[in-house]
Amino acid sequence: MILEVVNLHKYYQAGDFKLHVLKGISLRISRGEFLAIRGPSGAGKSTLLHIIGGLERPEEGKVLLNGEDIYYLNDDELSSLRNKNMGFVFQFYHLIPELTILENVALPLLIQGKDKSQAFNMAGELLSFFKMENRARHYPNQVSGGEQQRAAIARAIITEPQLLLCDEPTGNLDSQIGKEVLKLLQDINRKKGTTIIIVTHDSEVARWAKREFYIKDGILSEKGGSV
């Protein structure tokens, strides 16, 4: 068991109203799983992913990564755990425009203090795995949206995280390029054993996962059963 979510509750204040966004969500994820959390806009799926990833604290409940409750950690400890164990992919690629694709992919290693030549070598190997070696010296605005997303995924996994969290990773891509990105995530899961969680509104995207959950009005259920 790599991840366990226990009785999560999350509230947001909206003027005089208190919105109950997540309502007692529990979830158990085994190492090496590829799962999708699907739901409509406003259902709480991105909030759930952010809490799992240590980006947003819940009001109630626990998130256990390898048996450790991540919200017992202080902010510095949580940031360190996140950097070592998690990778993030978003709908918008968040590549740094002043850096080349190679430099963007290598950046997490450089932040960790890796030797520059070693970091660039590892980034180059990963770009080759993604069939993007010919784009290494290009800048983000010189490559397609699909290539930018592949570069963002490469950047997310270069530190070999245990957990890859993807928030609408195909939401800004056309259907064919989206399928290529999903195939890439599937390959990462199968060949590297990375545990992957995708949140999406799209049932076609969710079908790529081995397990599928549905979230609506802050309540989570597993397709074919309940959590």
Q: What is the pLDDT of residues 136-193, one digit of tens each?
A: 999 999 999 889 988 998 999 899 899 999 998 888 778 888 888 899 899 989 988 9
80 — pLDDT class (breaks 50, 70, 90): confident
Whether residue 137 lies inside any domain: the answer is no
Whether residue 69 lies inside any domain: the answer is yes
Whether residue 132 lies inside any domain: the answer is no
pTM, rounded to two decimals: 0.87
104 — pLDDT class (breaks 50, 70, 90): very high
Whether residue 133 lies inside any domain: the answer is no
Residues 69, 5: Cα–Cα separation, whole Å: 9
**What are the CA-CA distances from residue 98 to residues 54, 93, 95 (Å)?**
28, 14, 9
C-beta separation of 51 from 22 below 8 A: yes
- Both tokens of 126, joined, read 């990963």
Identify the domain containing residue 174 by its residue range. Answer: 3-94+162-222
Provide the CATH number for the domain around residue 188: 3.40.50.300
Total count of domains within the chain: 1
